[in-house]
Structure 1
Amino acid sequence: MDKESSTPKKNKAVVALRYDIEKDKAPLVIASGRGPVADEILRIAEDNKIPLYEDPELAKLLSKLELDTEIPAELYTLVAEVLFFVYKLDRMAQKRERMVKKIQEEEKNKKRP
């Protein structure tokens, strides 16, 4: 993905992963593409507030896998970095949400007589 424009360069691979710890033994490749397909994957991710992680080499490796395929054990460490990144973002979002609720509650209490 081109950092300047948030759109992939023509030959850059874009890959979407899913990992449901309760259902999946390992993360799965659920979408993969280049060019217009990559643009669509990114658009869907952004529309759904799905975090984007940029690693062209990892994307290139993952793009070689069939859809709905578990990632191979050789890529676990690299994909774990992605999952950790997403986990951190999720934790930050939860913390921010709690802070907003707290501020809203304090404001609400100030308005009460």
Structure 2
Amino acid sequence: MIISQSFNQVNRRKMNGPSAAVVKYDEKNGEDPKIVASGKGYIAERIKELAAENNIHMEEDALLLENLIDMDLGENIPPQLYAVIAEILLMIEEIEREI
């Protein structure tokens, strides 16, 4: 799942460019969700391009992204963000069922 921020404040985006974070969650192996990639500017654009090329669902959530973008790669997502992640995963499941 890719979390991107393409609708952040206009001035902030002009200065920093877009941002993106990649969350990996393997429910079958009982792993906690973790950050596997993140970046701003060109890196964020490239993450989003690769997601589109590989049919990986992207979700835009500025508040969640603010919390994820500064985390270290491989770091588990804090439990206080699980509810937001769970909502996004449920939306993805619904979208995949409709396809």
Give the structure-2-normalised TM-score: 0.79
1:12-51 aligned within 5 A: 12-51=18-57
2:10 maps to none
Larger Rg: 1
Post-superposition offset of 1:63: 1.1
Choose the corresponding residue for 2:81, options 61, 70, 75. 75
- Deviation, 1:61, is 0.4
Contact 2:37 2:73 in 1 (8 A): yes
Is contact 1:13-1:60 (8 Å) kept? no
Structure 2: stretches of 5+ with no match in the other structure: 8-12
* Distance in 1, Cα, partners of 2:91 & 2:35: 17
**CA 13–77 in structure 1, closer or farther in 2 if over 3 Å, else same:** same
Residue of 2, 22, 34 corresponding to 2:6: 2
Look up the equivalent residue of 1:34 and give its one-letter code: K
Q: Letter of the aligned partner of 1:2 in structure 2?
A: S
Q: Which has the higher contact order (CA 8 A, sep 6+)?
A: 2
How many residues in Structure 1 have an aligned counterpart in Structure 2? 88
Query: TM-score, structure 1 length as denominator?
Result: 0.70
Q: CA RMSD in A?
A: 1.6
Deviation of 1:82 after TM superposition, in Å, equals 1.3
Q: What code does the residue aligned with 1:47 have? A: E
Aligned counterparts of 2:20 and 2:72: Cα–Cα separation in 1: 14
Identity %: 28
